Homo-oligomer: A and B are copies of this chain.
Amino acid sequence: MSRKVGIVTVLAAIAVFAMAGTAFAAGDPSTTITGKAGGADASIAVNLLWIVLGAVLVIFMQAGFALVETGFCRAKHAAHVVSTNFAVFGLGFVAFFLIGFPIMFSNFSYAGYFGLDTALSPDRLIGFGDWTFLWGRTGFGLSGAAYSAPVAAFFLYMVAFMDTTATIPTGSMAERWKWKSFVGWGLFCGAIYYPIFGGWTWGGGWLSQLGNNVGLGFGYVDFAGSGVVHAVGGIAALTGAIVLGPRLGKYGANKKPRALAGHNIPMAMLGTFILLFGWFGFNAASTFAATDVRFAVVAVNTAIAAAFGAVIAMFYVMKRMGKPDPGMMANGMLAGLVAITAPCAFVQPWAAALIGAIAAVVVVESCMFWERKGIDDPVGAISVHGVCGIFGVLCVGIFSDGRYGAGWNLTTSGSAAKATGITGILYDFDLGLKQLGSQAIGALVIIFVMGGLSFGFFKLQNKLTKGGIRSSEADEIAGLDRPEMGVLAYDNIQVREIDVVGLDPADDKVLATGGDSPDPTLGR
Quick check: is A30 within 8 A (CB to CB) of the other chain?
A: no
Chain B residues contacting A372 (CB-CB under 8 Å) are none
Closest residue on chain B to residue A279 by CB atoms: B56
Pairs across A and B, CB under 8 Å, 12 listed: A8-B315, A9-B312, A52-B280, A56-B299, A86-B326, A87-B324, A89-B307, A90-B333, A261-B520, A498-B520, A510-B524, A514-B516
Proximity string of chain A (29-57) to chain B, C-beta cutoff 8 Å, 1 when within and 0 when not: 00111111101111111111111110111
B52 x A299 contact (CB < 8 A)? yes
B19 x A350 contact (CB < 8 A)? yes
Proximity string of chain A (341-384) to chain B, C-beta cutoff 8 Å, 1 when within and 0 when not: 00000001111011001000000000000000000000000000
Closest residue on chain B to residue A271 by CB atoms: B270
A63 x B277 contact (CB < 8 A)? yes
CA–CA, A312 and B13, complex, Å: 11
Chain B residues contacting A19 (CB-CB under 8 Å) are 348-350
The distance from the CB of A314 to the nearest CB of chain B, in whole angstroms, is: 6
Chain B residues contacting A44 (CB-CB under 8 Å) are 293
The 8 A-B residue pairs with the shortest CB-CB distance, nearest first, are A63-B273, A494-B494, A323-B486, A93-B307, A90-B310, A39-B291, A75-B492, A142-B349
Chain B residues contacting A429 (CB-CB under 8 Å) are none
Quick check: is A441 within 8 A (CB to CB) of the other chain?
A: no
Proximity string of chain A (497-512) to chain B, C-beta cutoff 8 Å, 1 when within and 0 when not: 1100000000001111
Chain B residues contacting A152 (CB-CB under 8 Å) are 296-297, 299-300, 349
CA–CA, A491 and B258, complex, Å: 15
Residues of A147-179 contacting chain B, CB below 8 A:
147-150, 152-153, 155-156, 159, 179
Chain B residues contacting A521 (CB-CB under 8 Å) are 498, 509-512
B293 x A45 contact (CB < 8 A)? yes
Copies in the complex: 3
A484 x B323 contact (CB < 8 A)? yes
Quick check: is A137 within 8 A (CB to CB) of the other chain?
A: no
Quick check: is A128 within 8 A (CB to CB) of the other chain?
A: no
A303 x B31 contact (CB < 8 A)? no
Chain B residues contacting A1 (CB-CB under 8 Å) are 318
Chain B residues contacting A276 (CB-CB under 8 Å) are 59-60
Of B289, B300, B312, B324, which is within 8 A of A485 by CB? B324
Closest residue on chain B to residue A360 by CB atoms: B90
B90 x A308 contact (CB < 8 A)? yes
Quick check: is A16 within 8 A (CB to CB) of the other chain?
A: yes
Given A143-B350, A147-B349, A265-B485, 13 additional A-B pairs, CB 8 A: A6-B319, A20-B354, A45-B290, A60-B276, A66-B270, A86-B326, A86-B329, A90-B306, A93-B304, A147-B348, A264-B489, A325-B487, A511-B521
A277 x B59 contact (CB < 8 A)? yes
Quick check: is A91 within 8 A (CB to CB) of the other chain?
A: yes
CA–CA, A274 and B74, complex, Å: 23
Does more than half of chain A's interface fall in helix, strand or loop, or is it mixed? helix
A52 x B295 contact (CB < 8 A)? yes
A487 x B82 contact (CB < 8 A)? no
Residues of A443-478 contacting chain B, CB below 8 A:
none
Of B83, B277, B509, B516, which is within 8 A of A329 by CB? B83
B266 x A49 contact (CB < 8 A)? no
Closest residue on chain B to residue A350 by CB atoms: B19
Quick check: is A495 within 8 A (CB to CB) of the other chain?
A: yes
Quick check: is A493 within 8 A (CB to CB) of the other chain?
A: yes
Of B263, B293, B486, which is within 8 A of A493 by CB? B263
Chain B residues contacting A291 (CB-CB under 8 Å) are 39-42, 45
Quick check: is A311 within 8 A (CB to CB) of the other chain?
A: yes
A406 x B35 contact (CB < 8 A)? yes
Closest residue on chain B to residue A52 by CB atoms: B299
User: Which of A222-230, A248-256, A397-405, A411-419 participates in binding chain B?
Assistant: A397-405
CA–CA, A147 and B8, complex, Å: 52
Proximity string of chain A (200-220) to chain B, C-beta cutoff 8 Å, 1 when within and 0 when not: 000000000000000000000
Chain B residues contacting A333 (CB-CB under 8 Å) are 90
CA–CA, A203 and B117, complex, Å: 38
Closest residue on chain B to residue A488 by CB atoms: B261
B353 x A292 contact (CB < 8 A)? no
Proximity string of chain A (1-28) to chain B, C-beta cutoff 8 Å, 1 when within and 0 when not: 1100110110010001101100110000
Closest residue on chain B to residue A80 by CB atoms: B326
B42 x A303 contact (CB < 8 A)? no
Quick check: is A236 within 8 A (CB to CB) of the other chain?
A: no
A62 x B273 contact (CB < 8 A)? yes
B491 x A493 contact (CB < 8 A)? no
A263 x B59 contact (CB < 8 A)? no
CA–CA, A92 and B309, complex, Å: 13
A48 x B325 contact (CB < 8 A)? no
Task: Tell whether A48 pairs with B293 under 8 Å between CB atoms, given A265-B79, A266-B66, A327-B487.
Answer: yes
